[in-house]
Chain A
């Protein structure tokens, strides 16, 4: 009897806590979209700068995410599967970009990629400008968001029982095809979810980008720029348009993920 009561009380508390957080997260976005969503969508037709900026944001964030997935997947697999000296340190180092304040991250990248740096000057020689170009945006996005993918992907790989790979190997699969045919599909949902989180984080980045590439302006920079030069009435539609447009890929990917699970 007593345990039943405790159970009920705890359930009420859990539901209350969940609703409070949901409200806290949803209310600002709902208010933003309600206040400025219509205006934001209208602007999509009339405001070329806004359109270009959203397009640039989408392209750079997607490129950064693709690079992150391509290079982060093997890294995540290594961290999840292999024991090697310094693994714990490496994993901790990978979390560091998440806690560095973003303008500092921008400055660190500048020192690495600027035109007087080893990397930046070589790139300029072959005609690639990093700072002040979309490449700078991609670099900033990749730096602040890739650790989210790696950490999520690592968890996804860790959840796949290594024995399945072992079985595939004993049945004659090479390590590559065991990974491709067994591990990847089983970890797929987790990888996709991590990639979505990385993409969303990349879209929202401001602090590091504004150091490396102010012009051309991504949506976050444009929204800041509109606020300082025109005020809230001009900044909110930009943010609202971004929120509405970002909802499309986010929902699609989440839905894709759920479908896969339902199929199983």
Chain B
């Protein structure tokens, strides 16, 4: 029989649930970001939230997955920050975004730990001979899903050309077969730590933040230097296109991170304030402290939006 007490308990529970669902009085900022931006952006968001008394909801996913949340699921955040500025024109302009701000650089590196096979011998000059050793497992992310994944394949092509070693890309692929692929570069971290992989293809910002050892490959191949853009463009990677069976070719480019406030952002005013803080000297200093190479002059690409700092 339903007792008075159980009804009371039930209504208490219901009240709690409703209270949890209702927003609190503070403003809210919903941020979707690329996995590799999770840590540096969180540091900036935390400082911002403390000062402005704003509640932050951060969702980290691969850049393409983050874009899909808007285009396919119709979920609109207040700010979206991605690991490849090209994803904006590719997916989000003009339906969701008119202009976006390029704000940080990065470089491709090979990250490893004290337990990695061959780590005592690896140097910026011989890295390609170490990671093609037959006892070594190299992890990488999925080129179809993640910018880091196709950038890895570009580095292979560039290295083969820059060092003039025939079939180098092929040999690197052999040590990094499909079973060593994971959806995005952040997924590789745990596998490197667990010793499943000896080396992972990653970003310098991640290697720094995770305190991994890493090899600087040189800016002729690591996609970090604007001045090398012409050589980077000789690398071409074909990945799956927007429909099954089709394909899209990505051309090598210096790595550039970008963010935007979507047109229908629920809290554009708070998002605008955060955008200004993110590109301020203080915001950039926090990003750099977290290992992300914030550029000195962040700039708008496309139509200049009202929220642009």
Contact = CB atoms under 8 A, between A and B. Distances in A.
Nearest to B178: A215
A170 interface: no
Given A110-B194, A227-B68, A132 B144 contact: no
Contact of B144 (A110, A216, A225): A225
Interface in B181-200: 181-183, 187, 190-191, 194-196
Contacts of B181: 214-215
Given A110-B196, A111-B194, A115-B196, A230 B244 contact: yes
B12 to A, nearest CB: 19
A161 interface: no
A207 to B, nearest CB: 11
Contacts of B242: 230-231
Given A110-B196, A114-B195, A116-B196, A211 B183 contact: no
Nearest to A121: B195
Interface residues of B, dominant DSSP: loop
Given A114-B195, A114-B196, A132-B179, A228 B244 contact: no
Q: Which size bracket describes the interface of B in this complex?
A: 20 to 34
Contacts of B190: 107, 110, 211
Given A228-B183, A229-B144, A114 B194 contact: yes
A190 B65 CA distance: 42
B72 A227 contact: yes
B137 interface: yes
Contact of B179 (A116, A215, A230, A234): A215
Contacts of B142: 214, 225
A138 to B, nearest CB: 15
Given A229-B145, A230-B244, A214 B72 contact: no
Q: Which size bracket describes the interface of A in this complex?
A: 20 to 34
Contacts of B71: 231
B18 interface: no
A210 interface: yes
Contacts of B147: none
B62 interface: yes
B73 interface: yes
Contacts of A232: 72-73
Nearest to A43: B244
B145 A228 contact: yes
A203 interface: no
A210 B243 CA distance: 23
A225 B145 contact: yes
B195 A228 contact: no
Contacts of A111: 194
B240 interface: yes
A213 B179 CA distance: 7
A187 to B, nearest CB: 32
Given A214-B182, A215-B181, A110 B191 contact: yes
Given A215-B181, A228-B183, A116 B194 contact: yes
B145 A214 contact: no
Interface string B156-191: 000000000000000000000011111100010011
Interface in A223-254: 224-232, 234
A228 to B, nearest CB: 4
A15 to B, nearest CB: 16
Interface in B129-162: 137, 142, 144-145
Interface string A12-41: 000000000000000000000000000000
Interface string A101-138: 00000010011001111000000000001011100000
A196 B188 CA distance: 34
A56 to B, nearest CB: 13
A41 to B, nearest CB: 16
A107 B183 contact: no
A226 B2 CA distance: 48
A117 B64 CA distance: 34
Contacts of A115: 137, 195-196
27 contacts: A10-B2, A107-B194, A114-B191, A114-B194, A116-B194, A116-B196, A129-B179, A131-B191, A131-B196, A211-B187, A213-B179, A214-B183, A215-B181, A225-B183, A227-B68, A228-B64, A228-B68, A228-B145, A228-B183, A229-B64, A229-B144, A229-B240, A230-B240, A230-B242, A231-B68, A231-B242, A232-B73
Shortest 4 CB-CB distances between A and B: which pairs? A132-B179, A116-B195, A215-B178, A228-B65
Interface of A: 10, 47, 107, 110-111, 114-117, 129, 131-133, 210-211, 213-216, 224-232, 234
Interface of B: 2, 62, 64-65, 68, 71-73, 115, 137, 142, 144-145, 178-183, 187, 190-191, 194-196, 240, 242-244
